[in-house]
Structure 1
Amino acid sequence: MKRTLNIARAVLALAMVLIAGHGYAQSSLDLRINEVLVINDSNYVDTYGRRNGWIEIFNTAYNTVDIGGMYLTDDPANPTKYWIPKGDPITSIAPRNYVLFFADSMPTRGIQHLNFKLKEGGSLALFESNGRTMIDAVKLGPQKPDVSYGRLEDGGVEWGFLEKTTPGANNFTGVIVTAGEKFGAMDPFGVGMAVIAMSVVFFALILLYVVFKNTKKIYSIDLRKLFSKPEVEVEAPKPAGEEISGEVNAAIALALHMYVNALHDHEETVLTIKKVARTYSPWSSKIYGLRNVPR
């Protein structure tokens, strides 16, 4: 029993470790290189008032992800070129939020300042903390001054030059049409909305009718019969009848014959009559009732 308990504890601990590792891997893989500006002539400035190329990392998850401990590099052959320090609030990216890094080759200015600069025709990659697993990468082709290259939608698949540079903001700067506005354009008179609403109401009523109709059947179920054990019928032995063999019948008949004949002794048929000496009937004689006189 004790050995079984120890095995169960070990299995539970291993499962917790695997789940924790899976959750961490999923969180780190939710990060994306979202927008890059290579040539910064008159665009965004850093906290030192300098204009340099910058990189925007986007957290696509709905939970906070810490980018600390991971690596940024412009050289695939050197995946651990810039290690992002841990323990700083800047590296903790809120859900659906952004963090900026400045490619100015001045890492002494702070965590957000990288030890390399971006170049046209180069590449950019984000690696896991183990230095081997690539999380995201992008190939930088010919660039335009003050025009950023990024995902057309935050975390999306399609890349292109953006109409506006949006460091730390949504890449899509067009008019966002809500689902309600789209539906209103498709159904300007509200006929479709009315049909959908009435369908939902009638469906709910039909469902309630079916439920209440079958409620009586549910309460009429005899739980004692439902959970009682079924009675086992014992079959009565079949009469022998014609199944008895001739040998058995002969043995029974012989036994009965021997039993009947053994009840009485064999008696002789000869009757013997012995003549008595007295000729009178002694039953009325008084002589046998008198007392003998002593001598």
Structure 2
Amino acid sequence: MRITTLKLLAVVLLISWMGILDGSAQSALDLRINEILVDNQSNYLDDFGQHSPWIEIFNSAYNSVDIGGLYLTDDLSNPTKYRIASGQTMTVIPPRSYIVFWANNMPTHGIKHLNFILKEGSVIALFDASGKTLIDSVSVPGNVIPDITFGRTIDGGPEWANLPKSTPAANNDTEFRPMAGEKFVEMDPTGFGMAVIAMAVVFFALALLFIFFKNMSRVIGLDLNKQKIARALTKARLGKETESEKESIVKDEEYQVSGEVNAAIAMTLFMYSTEMHDDESTVLTINKVSRTYSPWSSKIYGLRQYPK
């Protein structure tokens, strides 16, 4: 039993390790050589203040990729010419970001300084950690223009061209593109079109709600009619009434009054008939008061009375 458990654990660990390797390989395959500068006379400076040729690599993935352990070369017959040191934080490329290497044949200056120099007509290639799988490559064009970079027109895109601006560690596409809101303002400066669209959307939604509830009421009405018909058929099968009897039963059910209601009505009529008042005269008789003073102004009724 213990041996079986150990075997299963070993298989799980092996599969996990293979998945990690596969995930790393897939991440490395997202790297692209994005921009190069061969003749650097007054362009980007390296960390030693020198104008050196440089290579920009772009991480097209939406996760960080560690380029450490991969190989850069200018000779396809020697794919492992320069191994990028691994285990360094500077070799981790953030999502949709860049890293720049200096092709100045001075590897002693640091990890980002390669052991070859860019030349016209040469090839730049990026290989995986095994040195066998080609991740990306580009041929350096001839007749290069000083301080003019050669790169992808869109980061990670298929088209290459001489770029109007050198953008080391930045987006190659520097063309201004207005936002959607700015385009809408240009097309509809007064806002009338937006108001019409908003009203159309509201009325369209109200129309849909009207159609929905109307159809729902019809469906509910059909269900109620089906229930009434089913009850009538059930009564007809059980009681075997005739059509006239069915109509009378329906009328009786509609006009049937409970006994409590009948008793209340009868009691009300009885009390009304037995407790009616007599006719009263509408003539007022005023008798003269024998007192000579007005009782309304008399103070004797407000005096304190002492017991006798």
- TM-score, normalised to structure 1's length? 0.63
Q: How does 1:66-81 map to 2 (within 5 A)?
A: 66-81=66-81
Tell me the SS of whatever aligns to 2:108. Answer: helix
Q: Which residue of 2 aligns with 1:55?
A: 55
Tell me the SS of whatever aligns to 1:190. Answer: helix
Residues 73/208 of structure 1: CA separation in 2 closer, same or farther (3 Å cut): farther
- Distance (Å, rounded) in 2 between the aligned partners of 1:8 and 1:204: 59
Tell me the SS of whatever aligns to 2:168. Answer: coil
- Distance (Å, rounded) in 2 between the aligned partners of 1:136 and 1:155: 11
Residues 155/187 of structure 1: CA separation in 2 closer, same or farther (3 Å cut): farther
* 1:47 shift after superposition: 1.1
- Distance (Å, rounded) in 1 between the aligned partners of 2:29 and 2:211: 44
* 1:155 shift after superposition: 1.2
Residues 202/62 of structure 1: CA separation in 2 closer, same or farther (3 Å cut): farther
Question: Over alpha carbons, which structure has the higher Rg?
Answer: 1
Residues 195/57 of structure 1: CA separation in 2 closer, same or farther (3 Å cut): farther
Unaligned runs of 5+ in 1: 217-295
- Distance (Å, rounded) in 2 between the aligned partners of 1:200 and 1:8: 61
CA displacement 1:130-178 (0-9 Å, x = unmatched) = 1001111001112111100001111111110000111111111110333
2:194 paired with 1:190: yes
Residues 207/186 of structure 1: CA separation in 2 closer, same or farther (3 Å cut): farther
Q: How does 1:1-295 map to 2 (within 5 A)?
A: 9=9, 12-142=12-142, 143-182=144-183, 185=186, 189-190=193-194, 193-194=197-198, 197-198=201-202, 201=205
* 1:62 shift after superposition: 1.3
- Distance (Å, rounded) in 2 between the aligned partners of 1:200 and 1:104: 66
CA displacement 1:194-235 (0-9 Å, x = unmatched) = 27844885599589969x99xx9xxxxxxxxxxxxxxxxxxx
Choose between structure 1 and 2: higher helix proportion. 2
CA displacement 1:34-75 (0-9 Å, x = unmatched) = 100001111111111111100011111111111000000000
Tell me the SS of whatever aligns to 1:16. Answer: helix
Unaligned runs of 5+ in 2: 221-308
* 1:3 shift after superposition: 8.3
Residues 2/32 of structure 1: CA separation in 2 closer, same or farther (3 Å cut): same
Q: Which residue of 2 aligns with 1:244?
A: none
Larger deviation, residues 70-79 vs 1-10: 1-10
Query: What is the letter of the counterpart of residue 117 of structure 2?
Result: K
* 1:5 shift after superposition: 6.3
- Distance (Å, rounded) in 1 between the aligned partners of 2:56 and 2:160: 14
Larger deviation, residues 1-10 vs 71-80: 1-10
- TM-score, normalised to structure 2's length? 0.60
Count residues with an aligned counterpart: 213
